[in-house]
Structure 1
Amino acid sequence: MSDRTIAVISAGLSQPSSTRMLADRLAQAAVAELEARGLTATVQTVELRDVAHEIMNAMLTGFPSGDLRGVLEQVTRADGLIAVTPLFTTTYSGLFKSFVDILDKDSLTGMPVLIGATGGTARHSLALEYSMRPLFTYLRAEVTRTSVFAATDDWSGQDDVNPLPDRIRRAGRELAELVAEQENAGPADLYADAPSFGELLGRL
């Protein structure tokens, strides 16, 4: 079995938070799907509130310090990413955006990403599509087709009438599929388009 790493970032501001709860559920779903494909998975979860001061310092100085350096390494070296934020005034939180802003613009290229958000009412759910998805598309990440929004009422509903559990499972499956495809793809041939030695001699 091959071990894969899933990085999880939660931008919840309280402890405990519904944002962290959703992040954990998504991670559990993705891990279960990976294991069903014969892949083991390690989850590395980061609460952005724990490195909030370092994030602000990095924005001011241009250099990460302290625990933030390890967090950035965990996120950018992972095989897949789950990113969950609370929504404020119909968009992601300032803490979440600040963290994304200090990432190298090429660090998430091709990375499978599952996006999620929490909010008070379901009418804010479209923020995932007009706010979060374009953000990660700009970074050239491979965003899953299914995104997951959890309103306050979703946590009290029963599974047979609440669509949240099924949506979590579907999103986890899609992330696992993207991560598994990377596993099966094999290393890229960096010299596939390079001319042969004979061709180079012929140009002399």
Structure 2
Amino acid sequence: MSARRIAVVSAGLSTPSSTRMLADRLADATLHQLSTRGVEASVDTFELRDYAHEITNNLLTGFAAPELESMINTVVSADAIIVVTPIFTTSYSGLFKSFIDVIDKDALIGKPVLIGATAGTPRHSLAIDYAIRPLFAYLHAEAVSTGVFAASDDWGGTGDQVAPLGARIEKGAAELADAIARRDAATSSDPFDPSNYLRGGDSFENLLGGFAGD
């Protein structure tokens, strides 16, 4: 059986970031769940703040810098994706949405996705279902049933306060592992064909070479 690849996208802005902490725990739990199913897998983790300028420039100019091209290609060619965003003003962060906006709208069709979100208060937990899940439904990705939300209290508690977050992480990871295990390994797209993953198909190299998208 071919090894599987999981791409992890964290939209946290601070260092250290609770968003990254949740992303790492979801990734570790998914790898463990896959291991129990006899499936070998690896993880590529990306912090969107490291690509913030490139994402903005892509939105403004219509083409992606090589570093952003490479990252997007790795994400969309993975067997599954784990995405975690902080909740700002009752929805996903602007950086997270901007990243989604520079990916071709067809690049995530059928892709298993595990959604995570973080915020200071549990009041924002429903944002996964009324904001983030519809976004991936529009992209025809296959988000697993369980979304994992972590509030500040989930990290600072002890005993019974910690267990619910751990249980949610394990449930979401198990669902993603099931979705990965029942699919054939993904076939990597051509890294020299940005039309496979970039909205408009525009890259820096292609524009220099005379390529122009819509």
TM-score under structure 1 normalisation?
0.88
Distance 2:161 2:155 in 1: 12
Residue identity opposite 1:166 in structure 2: A
- How much does 1:63 deviate? 1.2
Distance 1:103 1:26 in 2: 23
Distance 2:64 2:75 in 1: 14
Per-residue deviation, residues 144-191 of structure 1 (Å, max 9, x unmatched): 10001100000122353431000000000000000111138xxxxxxx
- How much does 1:26 deviate? 0.3
Per-residue deviation, residues 30-85 of structure 1 (Å, max 9, x unmatched): 11011111111110000000010000011112211131011100111000000000
Stretches of 4+ aligned residues off by more than 4 angstroms: none
RMSD over equivalenced CA pairs, Å: 1.4
What residue ranges of structure 2 are gaps of 5+ in the alignment?
186-214
Alignment of 1:10-159 (within 5 A): 10-159=10-159
What residue ranges of structure 1 are gaps of 5+ in the alignment?
185-204
Higher relative contact order (CA 8 A, sep 6+): 2
Distance 1:176 1:50 in 2: 28
Distance 2:158 2:183 in 1: 35
Q: Which moved more, 1:161-170 or 1:89-98?
A: 161-170
1:165 matches 2:162: no
Per-residue deviation, residues 114-165 of structure 1 (Å, max 9, x unmatched): 0000000001000000000000000000001000110000012235343100
Distance 1:150 1:159 in 2: 16
Q: Which residue of 2 aligns with 1:180?
A: 181
**Which is greater in Rg?**
1
Q: Which residue of 2 aligns with 1:201?
A: none
Distance 2:140 2:158 in 1: 37
TM-score under structure 2 normalisation?
0.84
Q: Which residue of 1 aligns with 2:199?
A: none
